[in-house]
Structure 1
Amino acid sequence: MKLLPTFLVLVGLCLFSSFILPQDDRSAPPRQPFKLVVLDPGHGGRDAGAVGRKANEKDIALAVALKLGKKIEDEMPGVKVIYTRKTDVFIPLYERPALANKHNADLFISIHCNAAATRRSPARGTETLVCGYNRLGQQDAAIRENASILLEDNYEENYGGFDPKDPSSMIVFQLMKNQHRRESIKLASLMQDKFTTSGRPDRGVKEQSLAVLATAGMPAVLTELGFMSSSIEEDYMLSTAGQKEMVQNLFDAIKTYKTSVER
């Protein structure tokens, strides 16, 4: 008797994915409680990142990540933060999203600072990056792993007898990958919106082929806080007031995102 509900669910998922999914996420797997954010301060250790007149990218990224994580845990009850690094150490790129996958994180946020090719460049502002289409195939293994975890709890109730070990569950994995992409863009857009409330120049949401995002089995973004090649922006990113403002912008974006996914 379970075959009919399973068949109907899978047919429904295909139809929603093909015709409704961009406007209506009812075909996506049921949302789980928002509990865990992985913060990834870019670079570290022997990898300084962009070098400014007074500081290195790795130090600003770490300072902002630690302050953001504390604010999340202080002001978002029930949400835990894990850091890919909490000190000045070098962490290989592949280990960063792997940590998020291991803990089945709800979000992976990599924090960086930008730099222009020359200090004479007028480039300023913030931008937030999501994984380019050509990298999406690398998410499959992580999504399969995370999906099996997500579907273990109450999967019969959620899917009318759907078996996560059934080969046809790849339909659900594909839906999850598409959903992660949409959610990444949503979070990136929220971050850019919040940065603009502080008067920061908005360089937009961009797609790039980034290894640090490619294997994350959840919504993942890389945000560039500003340009180390600009003395004005470097001073801002180093200042107590500037870091407080950037942390508030990022916190507000995450909080708004959390509210939207828990509706």
Structure 2
Amino acid sequence: MYKVWIDAGHGGKDPGAVANGVLEKDIALKVSLGIKDRLESLYEDVQVLLSRSTDVFLELRDRTAKANAASADILVSIHCNAGGGKGGFESFRYTSASQNSIKLQDTLHKSITAKLGGTDRGQKAQNLHMVRESKMPAILTENLFVDVAADADRLKQSIVIDAIIDGHVQGIATYLGLAKTKEDKPLTSEVMKQLEKLKAIVESQAKWIAAQKTREDMECPKWAESAYEYFKDYLSGKTGSYDFWRLLVVSYRKDEEIKAHKKQTKISP
């Protein structure tokens, strides 16, 4: 069982970089939770441990101490950037990094930039606490710039957050050589009937989403937008039925959020 330590930068009284209505600590936490969910759901023999799962403050020394005590196999610290001119993505390793850390950085960097697109600022080395004090291969990712308007706008889009999460997940899986939990095998007739019902639900939900987007005073739930985008990928053949099924199960855990939002807007799908 591989142990992956995911460190959501900043938190609590430390918001990290703040600009254009984006808080670095919020993006870092959202990405970290997404990595844990997808990596553990889609791959075998992997456990994802988090420095924080809520908006709390932790000292840097406490983060690395916990990761080292857990004997994690790798560590990835999640951040957003600021002060970078044109913006983009970059990653960091320690200045005297091990060959395994260099390999980890190269694998994740390529995976993330392939998913995220935009400006690639390169693979860099710096004397940062999280990569210096970690006993395992460790890297730090800087996922776009909150103070660059174009980057900040992207960070507000669920499809971009999904791309950042997927890039990290695929990079980690490739580095560790993880096997997927389940092949996308042909579905039985009974399961197919259930899937068709779920497809109909999401189709009707899409009409509600469209209605919400025409109302300037209401915001469509981010999870619903993400589910709809994934649904369109399923219809176009870009994603398999197993991943689609899994995403719907995860999405509909938020049923109470749906009900509350419908009650507030008085719009039914």
Per the shorter chain, which TM-score range?
0.5 to 0.7
RMSD of aligned Cα (Å): 1.5
1:42 equivalent among 9, 14, 33: 9
1:238 equivalent among 148, 152, 156: 156
> Any runs of at least 4 consecutive aligned residues in structure 1 with deviations exceeding 3 A, and if so which?
none
1:195 shift after superposition = 2.6
1:35 shift after superposition = 1.1
1:104 equivalent among 38, 55, 71: 71
Query: What's the TM-score once normalised by structure 1's chain length?
Result: 0.65
Task: Give per-residue Cα distances to partners, 1:77-110, cap 9 Å, x unaligned.
Answer: 1200110001111000001111111110001110
1:238 shift after superposition = 2.4
Alignment match, 1:151 = none
Alignment match, 2:119 = 201
Structure 1 contact 195–202 (Cα < 8 Å) conserved: no
- Give distance in 2, aligned partners of 1:194 and 1:200: 13
1:202 shift after superposition = 1.2
How high is the sequence identity, in percent, across the aligned residues?
Answer: 36
Alignment match, 1:66 = 33
1:258 shift after superposition = 0.8
Structure 1 contact 44–89 (Cα < 8 Å) conserved: yes
Structure 2 contact 36–48 (Cα < 8 Å) conserved: yes
- Give distance in 2, aligned partners of 1:250 and 1:221: 11
Task: Give per-residue Cα distances to partners, 1:161-219, cap 9 Å, x unaligned.
Answer: xxxxxxxxxxxxxxxxxxx7111111111222123323232111111111122211100
Alignment match, 1:192 = 109
Structure 1 contact 60–238 (Cα < 8 Å) conserved: no
Q: Is 1:181 aligned with 2:98? A: yes
Structure 1 contact 127–205 (Cα < 8 Å) conserved: yes
- Give distance in 2, aligned partners of 1:238 and 1:60: 9
Task: Give per-residue Cα distances to partners, 1:203-258, cap 9 Å, x unaligned.
Answer: 11111111122211100000001111111111212211011111111111111101
- Give distance in 2, aligned partners of 1:101 and 1:210: 16
- SS of match in other structure, 2:7: strand
Alignment match, 1:229 = 147
- SS of match in other structure, 2:123: strand
1:55 shift after superposition = 1.7
Alignment match, 1:256 = 174
Written as runs of structure 1 = structure 2, the 5 A alignment for 1:138-157 is none
- SS of match in other structure, 1:94: helix
* Uncovered stretches (5+) of structure 1, i.e. residues with no partner: 1-33, 134-179
- Give distance in 2, aligned partners of 1:131 and 1:193: 18
Alignment match, 1:85 = 52
1:111 shift after superposition = 0.1
- Give distance in 2, aligned partners of 1:196 and 1:107: 20
Q: Is 1:130 aligned with 2:93? A: yes
Structure 1 contact 101–216 (Cα < 8 Å) conserved: yes
* Uncovered stretches (5+) of structure 2, i.e. residues with no partner: 179-269
1:259 shift after superposition = 1.4
- SS of match in other structure, 2:177: helix
- Give distance in 2, aligned partners of 1:196 and 1:40: 20
Alignment match, 2:248 = none
Structure 2 contact 112–166 (Cα < 8 Å) conserved: no
- SS of match in other structure, 2:22: coil
Structure 2 contact 90–109 (Cα < 8 Å) conserved: yes
Structure 1 contact 49–58 (Cα < 8 Å) conserved: yes
- Give distance in 1, aligned partners of 2:107 and 2:143: 14
